[in-house]
Amino acid sequence: MRSTILVNEAHVIALAKAEAINRSSAKKLLRALRKLGKQMTLREGYEDVHVMIEECVTREVGSMIGGSLHIGKSRNDQVATAIRITLREEMLKLSNHLLTLENSLLNLAERHTRTVFPGYTHLQPAQPITFAHYLIANGDSILRDEQRVIEAFSRINKSPMGSAALAGTSFNIDRRLIAQLLGFNGLVENSLDAIESRDFILETLSICCMTALDLSRIAQDIIFYSCADVDLLELPDEYSSTSSIMPQKKNPDPMELLRAKSARMIGNYTTAAATLHALPSGYNLDLQEITPLLWHSLDTLRSCIAMLNALLPKLNPKPCVENQMEFTATTEIANILARDEGIPFREAHRITGRLVKEALEKEKKLRDLKRQDWEKNIRRKLKSQTMKNIGRALDMRRHIYAYRTEGSSNPKQTDRMLSERKKLVRSCKERNQLTQAQLARSLEKLRHAYLFTSKNARYRSHVNRESLICDPS
Amino acid sequence: MRSTILVNEAHVIALAKAEAINRSSAKKLLRALRKLGKQMTLREGYEDVHVMIEECVTREVGSMIGGSLHIGKSRNDQVATAIRITLREEMLKLSNHLLTLENSLLNLAERHTRTVFPGYTHLQPAQPITFAHYLIANGDSILRDEQRVIEAFSRINKSPMGSAALAGTSFNIDRRLIAQLLGFNGLVENSLDAIESRDFILETLSICCMTALDLSRIAQDIIFYSCADVDLLELPDEYSSTSSIMPQKKNPDPMELLRAKSARMIGNYTTAAATLHALPSGYNLDLQEITPLLWHSLDTLRSCIAMLNALLPKLNPKPCVENQMEFTATTEIANILARDEGIPFREAHRITGRLVKEALEKEKKLRDLKRQDWEKNIRRKLKSQTMKNIGRALDMRRHIYAYRTEGSSNPKQTDRMLSERKKLVRSCKERNQLTQAQLARSLEKLRHAYLFTSKNARYRSHVNRESLICDPS
Amino acid sequence: MRSTILVNEAHVIALAKAEAINRSSAKKLLRALRKLGKQMTLREGYEDVHVMIEECVTREVGSMIGGSLHIGKSRNDQVATAIRITLREEMLKLSNHLLTLENSLLNLAERHTRTVFPGYTHLQPAQPITFAHYLIANGDSILRDEQRVIEAFSRINKSPMGSAALAGTSFNIDRRLIAQLLGFNGLVENSLDAIESRDFILETLSICCMTALDLSRIAQDIIFYSCADVDLLELPDEYSSTSSIMPQKKNPDPMELLRAKSARMIGNYTTAAATLHALPSGYNLDLQEITPLLWHSLDTLRSCIAMLNALLPKLNPKPCVENQMEFTATTEIANILARDEGIPFREAHRITGRLVKEALEKEKKLRDLKRQDWEKNIRRKLKSQTMKNIGRALDMRRHIYAYRTEGSSNPKQTDRMLSERKKLVRSCKERNQLTQAQLARSLEKLRHAYLFTSKNARYRSHVNRESLICDPS
Amino acid sequence: MRSTILVNEAHVIALAKAEAINRSSAKKLLRALRKLGKQMTLREGYEDVHVMIEECVTREVGSMIGGSLHIGKSRNDQVATAIRITLREEMLKLSNHLLTLENSLLNLAERHTRTVFPGYTHLQPAQPITFAHYLIANGDSILRDEQRVIEAFSRINKSPMGSAALAGTSFNIDRRLIAQLLGFNGLVENSLDAIESRDFILETLSICCMTALDLSRIAQDIIFYSCADVDLLELPDEYSSTSSIMPQKKNPDPMELLRAKSARMIGNYTTAAATLHALPSGYNLDLQEITPLLWHSLDTLRSCIAMLNALLPKLNPKPCVENQMEFTATTEIANILARDEGIPFREAHRITGRLVKEALEKEKKLRDLKRQDWEKNIRRKLKSQTMKNIGRALDMRRHIYAYRTEGSSNPKQTDRMLSERKKLVRSCKERNQLTQAQLARSLEKLRHAYLFTSKNARYRSHVNRESLICDPS
């Protein structure tokens, strides 16, 4: 709605420049449009808003002038432009929401850079990591999603206006002027492409879907980690429903909702893709039906991010999980036997396996095994250093310092990664603010743009784009 | 397969640098791996190739050394790396295929910059355009697809190696060295993220889907334009099946296949998305099932592009279509009445409509109407210029020159757009060649990399990445 | 909402029978529920309505009695039951809508049993059929959809009540009594299955999708048949948008909308399937999210049916289409040469093809060819009967009578098929009325059911289901 | 392939009956077709097999007779018929596979009718059930899937033959004869519908999808129940991969594969639906592309069923799970307080909740609470019976006998349900055998069918369908 009015304002200025309408008519039209803009509410029913605007304006300025609003444009280019105006703002908002989510993850991670947590594969505890490492991993996928949002933004922020129904128009409309007035960074140049292409919608739906799937993984993890049997995370009471009769039972309601809602994104993408599949060239009314999917996916994704964002700061790992994690040390023990004792790697594997099996059968803890037990099993004397290292590996809080690779779960790596990511988030937020400010400035300018009324005789030849616009002062 | 061997080669070099294995073992391993690499065939069964490589190598170098191939890595990081190596090449190929397709469209367009063609909306002829304009519009959507391919490439071309099972490893593996040896432009840094994330697969599937949908629109258009009733395009005999009994009937087989195959891309995306939905963190075997979808979508898309590419050069508009297009001139006639005669725009619309209706009822052509007919209907005398302009609008070949906006169907615009796009395609192809050459150089280097055998005492402290690699000469 | 109140009413009666509450409490609860039922509106927010009902009732009867409403049941079985109650009615309505649509198709067909129409393959005119034949073909797919609706109905119309949270309950609830009171035709027996299974929703979504795809084919046909180039059908003005400026152009808006809306059904199915995929056993809140998809698909499908239903009676083939259809006679001409002249079939094919080609090149009509032309081409004298038959084949109105197979486009077959289908629709409608009457009777009875207040000492042993219910008189 | 040959055989017999070919030619054709049938392999490349058959036969019998094989039929009806012949057999096999799976579930259940198992909601243990109850719940969803298979079978098992290209044919082909010879139970009557409709494919894909989702739930449960933290089920070693180094870790590989493969069914459905969406009437080559999806979904589903079937007999609950389940007794304790002590239900809830909380805080077991503890909390003396009942509720093995409702987890209910389902499976298997025998008999008859060679003068008038067929004896 608001977008469509803006499109009309910019178009009026271009019509005046093209001398398709005179200055006085242009001014009246602008005034009527701005009056209308103040009365109305945002975003909805795009495809029907056009007639409405023309009618309202006509009521204001008379049918003679009002009718000229339609010169050199069509519902087709107007709809495409209005969607892009609204969508580019939504994309910036989405980017900001994702950066805020990333911040939530990083803030939580900062409190848990030394908090031991089991790393799972195949839903089985495999190796000790830190909770921070887990959170950064998930954050990194969010950062890639955010990157895609920004890349799509640059394809969205192009102007179709001036394409009219599909072929362009014989009025001398300055398309670049309109684009600039509306804050676009260029044209969707070919007029047929400009009115028929909706790949930017599909791309956005796909980004929403990918992001939602990343969130669904976090939701699934939280549900699993907080279930009574696994008991790694404590759900905050506000974000879980308890039964009055079963106070030990906390249902992870918002995460279940997030999990379900993220599936909706797949369906929205599928619907849009099936709609566009084998649709003939040119504008077809089918296109109208995919726009609501766009807003739906964006709204749903926003609510999913909000649910997670609200929960994260209150999410805490249960203390002492390391007691249950002893067997996740086996990989490192085999590494030690290979490195310190020169035992061939595959054999070190086999030995460790045998030891674990024995401990399981005797219902013993590995850390309760004596040096003799190890030596008997390995069939050789062990260095003292080896035993020390094994002891360290079995102590989860020290274990994690053994990791030496870049990006590993070693707390020193975590500290570095955290600070780099915090910096990245800050710079991305600044970039967004800059872009938003530019857009706002363009539209602000447009909102106050007046046409020169001077009887500038040389107008036709010397006018440049900038001269058409000035602050009302 | 080939990718996995390369990954192992690079890993061996990193193991040697980390002194996890000695130089002599490293050399034997490299030799065995290269021997294996020459015997084998490409791309398939990734997830099972790992054991096979280790076994073949072990048969060659003995279990003592062979077993050490597995130090500090895991199937998890290896699979992710191998997929990325193969995929980045596929993406460059896809980019090239799309650029070739764009060239086909542009070449055909060059022959038809003045060929009048009806522009459709709602499957109804709406305004005259040129066939070139139609082709450029479709090409522009292909160019956006190509842009997405390249953006995804930069996310794909990162190295997960050194992440081991999920947490990193206690061996001092230089991840950046491996990345460099394998031609990657950086790391998937967080080790858990590195082994679990498959968003790059989903992103690729989405790009394949969007591209396929763009192709499906062209296919649908060709089917429609070449059907007996519409008869705008002549299908080349080689790309249509004719019945021996109905020689007038040409079935647009390849375009029907393209249309159907493009739907498969939607399903592949859906499958991958549903697989990743709510999958818990860490490596799960489910991930193995989405990789084949990736190769399937890429292969299918390639075959769709090929079908279109083969057909395009032989596709020709039927002559004299402009005879049937008279009514598509009405928008421009209304424009003329408004511009030349100062008739209010909406009224110009109504007048034109009335004239068309009359002509239809009298089964007359608009161009057969006399000046008096026009003047009677409009209820005023018309300027001679107006009548001339109307005459020009009714002559489709001159009509198209009336369009004045940038990106419109005016042949002058088309000429400019064509030359700009040809230039763009050239520069994109050059960029791809450069990237491919870099990748090839990295891998070539890796293939011939040997380790210093000098007993360089200062090795541990001074080694730098480059010193590890030298040409065999 | 209404459904949930009904469920509560039936449950109260079962609680009384189980002596879990006394008669007086039961009566008060029933009264409160019925009062509530009169104040409220239908269908929505199922999952939250439960607390609301309990609270409203408690406000009416006090917390002592109100609290007992929850005995022996759970939100889980209640939700599943309420959805099934609403859905079974929707399914009957859907069946009726489909039967009405079939009637529209049949009624239109009755007017066109002799109206020649081209039968297409590969979007190319292939053989003459009648418009009625085309309509019956589409109707037959609708009839299969309707059959699936009824089959699904029998799986939907089962009662989960008495399953409580998932395990059943220790209160002696008579599940069959509740089922009977609510008009169900049996139980979803296993209590865990009863509360967790949503396959009936997925089945319904699939039926909606298949039906919508059948409708989308009709919509696509109408768009194609009514486009200016093909011009086989005349769209009624009310169901197409015309531009004031291009009166010859009729945009098939509702059919484009139908086409797009039908794609939504695919996405709804995908969403529900992805939500249910790999969801663990038992009730999960995710289930709540798929119910709205169900109502959305049913509503959208209904609107699609309505759009088609409104348009069909006013849809008319353009006259004289047979003039353009001559070449569709070739198959039959080959048949004639084979049958009447004993020319081998494949050769008859070749000959006909040659003739058509010649005619095309000479821009002649087949019917303008002389006997000599035929004989020269076939290289033999032809019987007079052959020439007569060929003449008949070239006259489309007589051509269609040549078809001899059951179910063919011969008007005699059409007449028979029409009358059989009309009868079938009638009997299906009667069956639905019967089922609806039964459901209405059950619920009517429930709405007026009161409990015996007599101090029947033998109650516990002799009570039977029927004795619990009597009319309020 | 085999199906297409059968179709040709039946068609030859109908051609002979229609006197479109003479007996001697018919015999030669039959002989050639049967010879061909013995040389060839099954199911694949349907759409291309037609030409191949005609060519092979022609090589055998000469082009004169060979060419007549094509009389009165088309690739269009032939393809549709061949798919239906293959598919109906696949559906019967699928039905049998599902019944076998149900048997596996029931057999396992029989061993565990008294094995206590936690019933989950929201992935939290909620109430005690038996493992058998869990298994029956999942089996019941499988039984509904099987029911759908059979219902679809009856729509699939109809004959399109005799519809030729789309309009029927002027040869007097007895469609019902062909249907009968091929074992169909009727016709797809309308000839256009017969060759264009593929809703039976979509329906089958949907059934495969729904079934796969039911299996995915079981897979997800097994993965969760067998993970180290939950430890309710012991995975058999053959159906899990263990790491040599982590013997305590069992990766549920086949269940992860099943989970992933089931997602593929969603995608296959989506692809087919998107392909059929808005496809115009008549045969289009697109239809060819959805048939492979059908075989893929059926094959994949079969392999999923097989994976589960192999695992189930070796799946065992870990002993003593009841020790960890105490808190799942709370619902029943509240029931007892309400029933035995007349405490209002909602208050009974609150009291129990308070007790549980207290026990949790004091790290006590509920069963360690003394009578005084209960009475203090409830603030009243309790009957001895109450305490006994509470004690019983806290003993999981006795708890489950408290359930009184039909279909509940009470072992007596389980016994009954098991025996009823076993009976049902038997009768369904018998029904399938009967159907398969009938089909086999039809095809056997067809395979040996010869044409009467007697110069039966009264042939034309008195021939009935049966007389055309006789055993070769």
Lowest mean pLDDT among C389-403, D314-328, D409-423: D314-328
pLDDT of D243 reads 67
Give the residue carrying structure tokens 């005492």: B457
Kindly determine whether residue C121 and residue D166, on different chains, have CB atoms separated by under 8 Å: yes
pLDDT confidence band for D359 (50 / 70 / 90) = confident
Q: Are D143 and D424 in contact (CB under 8 A)?
A: yes
For residue B157, the chain A residues in CB contact (below 8 A) are none
Q: Which residue has the higher pLDDT, A351 or D402?
A: D402
In angstroms, how far is CA D94 from the centroid of its own chain? 5
Type of residue at C376: K
Encode pLDDT of A18-63 as tens digits. Answer: 999 999 999 999 999 999 988 765 444 444 788 889 888 999 999 8
- The answer to whether the CB atoms of D169 and C196 lie below 8 A apart is no
A17-28: pLDDT as tens digits: 999 999 999 999
Q: Chain B interface, mutation test: which of C246, C285, C347, C362, most B Cβ atoms within 10 Å?
A: C246
ipTM above 0.85, yes or no: yes
Q: Look at residue A230 and tell me whether its pLDDT is greater than 50.
A: yes
Q: Which of C260, C271, C285 sits opposite A266 (nearest CB)?
A: C271
pLDDT at A241: 79
Contact D251/A at CB under 8 A: yes
- CA-nearest of C395, C337, C339, C389 to C367 is C395
- Compute the radius of gyration of chain A from its Cα atoms: 31
Q: Which residue numbers in chain B have pLDDT < 50?
A: 42-47, 453-473
Touching check for A257 and chain C: CB below 8 Å?
Answer: yes
| Extended beta strands in A269-397, E state | 316-317
CA dihedral sign of residues B74, B77, B81, B87: positive
User: Where is pLDDT greater, at A159 or A368?
Assistant: A159
CA distance D301 to D212: 6
* Residues of C in Cβ contact (< 8 Å) with D193: 136-138, 140-141
Low-confidence ranges of chain C (pLDDT < 70): 40-47, 243-248, 320, 451-473
Residue C256 to chain A, least CA–CA distance (Å):
6
Residue D464 pLDDT > 60: no
Contact A73, A378 (CB under 8 A): no
Say yes or no: A228 contacts chain D, CB-CB below 8 A. yes
Q: Which residue, among C289, C290, C294, would best test binding to A if mutated, counting the most A CBs under 10 Å from its CB?
A: C289
Q: Report the residue from D134, D190, D285 with minimal CB separation from C417.
A: D190
Contact residues on chain D for B270, CB-CB shorter than 8 A: 266-267, 270-271
The alpha-helical segments, DSSP class H, found in B182-243 are 191-196, 199-226
DSSP code, position D408: S
- C296 in catalytic set: no
Residues 355-384 in B contacting C (C-alpha not used; CB under 8 Å): 356-357, 360
What are the tens digits of pLDDT across the range D75-89? 999 999 999 999 999
Angle formed by the axes of helices C75-110 and C131-156, nearest 10°: 160
C141 Cβ under 8 Å from any chain A Cβ? no
The Cα–Cα gap between D337 and D347 comes to 9
Nearest C-alpha in A relative to B163: A408
Residue bearing the bigger pLDDT, D317 or D39? D317
Catalytic residue among D154, D243, D419, D427: D243
Q: Rounded to a whole number, what is the distance in Å from the CA of A473 to chain B's nearest CA?
A: 32
Average pLDDT, chain A: 90
User: Quick one: pLDDT at residue D451?
Assistant: 67
B88 interfaces chain D, CB cutoff of 8 Å? no
B95 to chain D, closest Cα gap in Å:
25
Contact predicate A264/C289, CB 8 Å: yes
- Record: contact B251-D290, CB cut-off 8 A: no
Report strand pairing: C316-317 vs C233-234: antiparallel
Predicted pLDDT at C367? 86
Is D122 in the active site? yes
Is pLDDT above 50 for A188? Answer: yes
**Is C331 within 8 Å of B245 when comparing Cβ atoms?**
yes
Q: Which of A256, A266, A288 sits opposite C270 (nearest CB)?
A: A266
pLDDT at D324 over 60: yes
Least confident interval from A237-241, B73-77, B404-408, D267-271: A237-241
Supply the pLDDT for residue D455: 44
Residue written as token pair 């009447």: C340
List the single residue in A with minimal CA-CA distance to D222.
Answer: A123
pLDDT digits 0-9 by tens, A313-348: 999 999 866 777 888 999 999 999 999 998 988 889
Residue range D121-125: average pLDDT?
Answer: 94
Q: Tell me, yes or no, if B175 comes closer than 8 A to chain A by beta carbon.
A: yes
Q: State the nearest Cα–Cα gap between D446 and chain A, in angstroms.
A: 43
pLDDT in tens, D157-195: 999 999 999 999 999 999 999 999 999 999 999 999 999
